[in-house]
């Protein structure tokens, strides 16, 4: 992965376009960002990704001062505060994805209905209480809801997912929306049977080593 500013700008724009192609966003809704040195590169406000160039990606410092030809996304505080609260976050995707948003409008988090919920850090994914978009109050509630997790729902709004880099954040966002669709479909049949705390503890332990080299294969 490129770590140059030019490379990250290209990658951020490509991620924003890919969010639309994956059905996570329509038009100007949603936004994405990536951590860059002690700054943030973030998609601009009020313009569709398909109408942007890499030079349109806004640059923010930790005080919220922005640089670039366009204003940063109206949710820039949310992005800034997630990076500050979670050092492991390298990139963030915020979307009004259809199934995540349907659940968010019920103000319901996602319980352990499927073991893959553990991919997002624990036994559930929370739904942050409602606050107006673009406010510090919303940012504070989302940071709380993300404690120990890499995804959350935003009441009557959408979802936020972070990952170690843009490719990871996008993949996780698509995976999360898939999980939301599965939960939504499950609810059509009634309340699901939830996994127990012991069953989820076993899953979380297995995920701890999932995709890593075997300990006995290390030199």
**Residue 95 bridge partners (DSSP):** 159
Closest CA to 114 of 106, 123, 105: 123
Q: Are strands 127-128 and 151-154 parallel, antiparallel or unpaired?
A: parallel
Q: Return the C-alpha torsion angle 192, 151, 22, 50, nearest 10.
A: 150
Residues 5, 21, 59, 75: which is the catalytic one? 75
Which residue shows structure tokens 């990606």?
Answer: 57
| DSSP string for 105-146 | TTT--B-SSSGGGGGGTSS-B-EEPP--TTSHHHHHHHHHHT
From edge to edge, which strands make up the β-sheet containing 151-154?
A: 66-67, 58-60, 39-42, 31-36, 91-95, 158-163, 151-154, 127-128
Residue 12 vs residues 3, 4, 26, 41, 182: alpha-carbon distances, Å: 12, 12, 17, 8, 28
Q: Do 30 and 23 form a contact (C-beta atoms < 8 A)?
A: no
At residue 116, φ and ψ (nearest 5 deg) are -65, -10
Establish whether 177 is a catalytic residue. no
Q: What positions carry a catalytic annotation? A: 75
């Amino acid at each position: 992965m490129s770590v140059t500013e030019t490379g990250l700008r290209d990658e951020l724009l490509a991620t924003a376009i890919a969010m639309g192609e994956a059905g996570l966003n329509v038009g100007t809704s949603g936004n994405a960002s990536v951590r860059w040195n002690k700054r943030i590169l973030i998609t601009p406000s009020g313009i569709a990704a398909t109408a942007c160039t890499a030079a349109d990606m806004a640059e923010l410092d930790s005080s919220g001062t922005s640089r670039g030809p366009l204003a940063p996304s109206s949710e820039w505080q949310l992005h800034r505060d997630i990076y500050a609260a979670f050092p492991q976050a390298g990139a963030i995707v915020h979307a009004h994805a259809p199934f995540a948003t349907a659940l968010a409008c019920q103000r319901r988090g996602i319980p352990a209905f499927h073991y893959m919920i553990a991919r997002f850090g624990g036994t559930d994914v929370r739904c942050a209480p409602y606050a107006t978009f673009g406010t510090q109050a919303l940012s504070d509630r989302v940071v709380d809801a993300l404690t120990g997790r890499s995804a959350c729902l935003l009441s009557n709004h959408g979802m936020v997912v972070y990952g170690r880099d843009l490719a990871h954040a996008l993949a996780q966002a698509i995976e999360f929306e898939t999980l939301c669709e599965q939960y939504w479909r499950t609810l059509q049949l009634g309340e699901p049977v939830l996994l127990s705390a012991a069953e989820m503890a076993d899953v979380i332990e297995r995920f701890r080593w999932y995709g890593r080299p075997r300990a006995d294969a290390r030199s």
